[in-house]
């Protein structure tokens, strides 16, 4: 089963846009088709950003997303890297993915090194889903 770490922007996109690729990735997780890896710092970040009023997510929706990740995901204690990153706040996602040998799915691919384990939601969906047979 594929191991995945999702950046906050992917989680938020999944929560507010129900038919996009981020939503498909979150559905793959909730349906048990991928393993989602996370660490405590990521949960804190997810919770903080999901609560932004501009996203208009109810407290119940926010709590359901976080509870699903905590109850079905795989907790990781990331080993801290020293690789230079554009935004230091992205390090926790990179380090969690590296430590868990996961794919890091992000909408901000330019914030990370050019590595095969880092991909956009569109690239992830293209690589790991099969087209519907009509």
Predicted pLDDT at 11? 98
Three-state SS letters, the chain: CEEEEECHHHHHHHHHCCCCHHHHHHHHHHCCCEEEEECHHHHHHHHHHHCCHHHCCCHHHHHHHHHHHHHHCEECCCCCCCCCCCCHHHHHHHHHHHHCCCEEECCCHHHCCCCCCEECHHHHHHHHCCCCCC
Q: Is residue 45 part of a domain?
A: yes
The CATH number of whichever domain residue 71 belongs to comes to 3.40.50.1010
pLDDT per position as a tens digit, 24-76? 999 999 999 999 999 999 999 999 999 999 999 999 999 999 999 999 999 99
Q: What is the residue range of 55's domain?
A: 2-128
Is residue 107 within 8 A of residue 13, CB to CB? The reply is yes
* 133 inside domain: no
- Which pLDDT band, with edges at 50, 70 and 90, does 111 fall under? very high
134 within a domain of the structure (yes/no): no
Count of structural domains, the chain: 1
Does the residue 106 lie in any domain? yes
């Amino acid at each position: 089963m594929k191991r995945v770490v999702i950046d906050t922007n992917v989680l938020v996109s999944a929560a507010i846009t129900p038919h996009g690729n981020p939503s498909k990735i979150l559905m793959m997780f909730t349906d048990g088709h991928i393993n989602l890896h996370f660490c405590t710092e990521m949960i804190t970040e997810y919770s903080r950003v999901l609560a932004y009023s501009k996203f208009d997510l109810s407290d119940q929706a926010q709590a359901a997303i976080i509870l699903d990740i905590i109850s079905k995901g795989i907790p990781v204690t990331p080993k801290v890297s020293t690789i230079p990153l554009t935004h230091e706040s992205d390090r926790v996602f990179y380090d969690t993915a590296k430590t868990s040998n996961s794919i890091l799915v992000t909408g901000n691919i330019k914030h990370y090194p050019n590595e095969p384990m880092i991909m956009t939601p569109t690239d992830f969906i293209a690589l790991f889903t099969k087209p519907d047979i009509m």
